[in-house]
């Protein structure tokens, strides 16, 4: 039996934002241009801004989401080509960055 474990890795948050699909209940959004309603199981690139997706995350895979194991498994099975990142990590980093840029 296999389990999922998160791996910590240094990353460029701008690079992630430029190539990230954020999965919601059914469809996904493009992190770069905020386009909504993207069919994440198929989309290789954003239909609006044209970025190529390399990363994927889900709003429903947080610490408090009881079904997050099933959510992660479903998304990873549909998109083994994308790197699954943690949504809470992503929000925390982009939130800190926005605060820094706001106070500059």
The residues binding Zn ion (CB under 5 A) are 30, 32-33, 35, 46, 48-49
**In the complex, what is the shortest distance from the CB of residue 37 to Zn ion, in angstroms, rounded to a whole number?**
11
Contact 43, 53 (CB under 8 A): yes
Task: Rank residues 41 and 49 by Cβ distance to Zn ion and give the closer one.
Answer: 49
Task: Rank residues 46 and 75 by Cβ distance to Zn ion and give the closer one.
Answer: 46
Task: Rank residues 34 and 73 by Cβ distance to Zn ion and give the closer one.
Answer: 34
CA angle 81, 74, 88 (to 5 degrees): 80
- From CA 13, how far away is CA 74, in angstroms rounded? 25
């Amino acid at each position: 039996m296999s389990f999922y474990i998160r791996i910590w890795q240094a990353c460029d948050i701008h690079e992630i934002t430029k190539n990230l699909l954020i999965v919601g209940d059914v469809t996904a959004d493009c992190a770069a241009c905020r386009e909504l309603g993207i069919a994440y199981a198929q989309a290789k690139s954003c239909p609006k801004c044209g970025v190529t997706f390399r990363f994927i995350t889900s709003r429903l895979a947080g610490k408090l989401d009881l079904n997050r194991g099933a959510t992660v498994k479903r998304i990873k099975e549909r998109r083994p080509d994308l790197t699954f990142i943690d949504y809470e990590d992503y929000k925390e980093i982009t939130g800190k960055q926005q605060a820094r840029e706001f106070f500059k």
